Copies of this chain bind each other. A is one copy, B any other.
Amino acid sequence: MSATSMAAPSAATIEAIQQKAKRLSVLSMMATTAAGSGHPTSCMSAAELVAGIFFYAMKFDPKDANSPNGDRFVLSKGHAAPVLYAALAEAGVFPESRVMTLRQFSSELEGHPTPRIPGVDAATGSLGQGLSVGAGLAIGAKMDKSPTRVYVVVGDGEMAEGQIWEAASFAGHYKMENLTLIADVNALGQSEPTMYQHDMEIYRRKFESEGFAAEVIDGHDVAQVLAALDRAKATKGQPQAILARTVKGHGVSFLAGKEHWHGKPLSKEQLGQALKEIGLTIDVPPDPGKSYARTALPQPPPFSAPADPDYPAGASVATREAYGYALKRIGAVNSHVVAISGDVKNSTFSEIFEKAYPDHFYQGYIAEQNMVSVAVGLAARGKVPFADTFACFLARAYDQVRMAAISRSNINLCGSHCGVSIGEDGPSQMALEDLAIFRAVHDSTVLYPSDAISAERLTEAMAQRSGINYLRTSRPKTPLLYTKDEKFPIPGFKVLRKSAQDRAVVIGAGITVHEALKAADQLKSQGTPVRVIDLYCVKPIDARAVAAEVSAAAGRVVIVEDHWAEGGIGEAVFAALAQAGTSAAKSRHLAVTRMPHSGKPDELVDAFGISARHIVAAVGEIA
Asked whether, in the complex, the Cβ of A161 is within 8 Å of the Cβ of B366, the reply is yes
Asked whether, in the complex, the Cβ of A439 is within 8 Å of the Cβ of B37, the reply is no
Asked whether A357 is an interface residue with its Cβ less than 8 Å from the other chain, the reply is no
Asked whether A317 is an interface residue with its Cβ less than 8 Å from the other chain, the reply is no
Asked whether, in the complex, the Cβ of A191 is within 8 Å of the Cβ of B344, the reply is yes
- Shortest C-beta distance, A552 to chain B (Å), equals 17
Residues of B within 8 A of A367 (CB): 160-162
- Shortest C-beta distance, A41 to chain B (Å), equals 15
Asked whether, in the complex, the Cβ of A125 is within 8 Å of the Cβ of B428, the reply is yes
Most chain B beta-carbon contacts within 10 A, residue among A111, A157, A428, A585: A428
- Return 8 A-B CB contacts under 8 Å, by A number: A78-B428, A108-B597, A126-B428, A161-B162, A169-B195, A436-B437, A567-B571, A571-B571
Contact partner of A598 (CB less than 8 A), chosen from B103, B164, B443, is B103
Q: Which of A479-487, A515-523, A575-583 contacts B (4 or more CB under 8 A)?
A: A575-583
Asked whether, in the complex, the Cβ of A575 is within 8 Å of the Cβ of B565, the reply is yes
Asked whether A495 is an interface residue with its Cβ less than 8 Å from the other chain, the reply is no
Contact partner of A396 (CB less than 8 A), chosen from B399, B437, B579, B598, is B399
Q: Which of A15-23, A503-511, A599-607 contacts B (4 or more CB under 8 A)?
A: A599-607
Given contacts A162-B369, A192-B363, A567-B567, 20 further A-B contacts (CB under 8 A): A105-B597, A105-B600, A107-B598, A160-B365, A161-B366, A169-B195, A189-B366, A191-B346, A195-B365, A206-B209, A402-B433, A403-B428, A408-B595, A433-B440, A436-B437, A436-B567, A443-B595, A571-B574, A578-B587, A583-B585
Asked whether A273 is an interface residue with its Cβ less than 8 Å from the other chain, the reply is no
Residues of B within 8 A of A165 (CB): 162, 165
Q: Which of A142-150, A327-335, A419-427 contacts B (4 or more CB under 8 A)?
A: A419-427
Given the interface pairs A205-B209, A598-B107, the reply to whether A190 lies near B346 with Cβ below 8 Å is yes
Asked whether A181 is an interface residue with its Cβ less than 8 Å from the other chain, the reply is no
Contact partner of A37 (CB less than 8 A), chosen from B37, B169, B194, B424, is B424
Asked whether A112 is an interface residue with its Cβ less than 8 Å from the other chain, the reply is yes
Asked whether A292 is an interface residue with its Cβ less than 8 Å from the other chain, the reply is no
- Shortest C-beta distance, A82 to chain B (Å), equals 12
User: Ordered nearest first, which 4 A-B pairs have the shortest CB separation?
Assistant: A162-B162, A125-B428, A105-B599, A436-B440
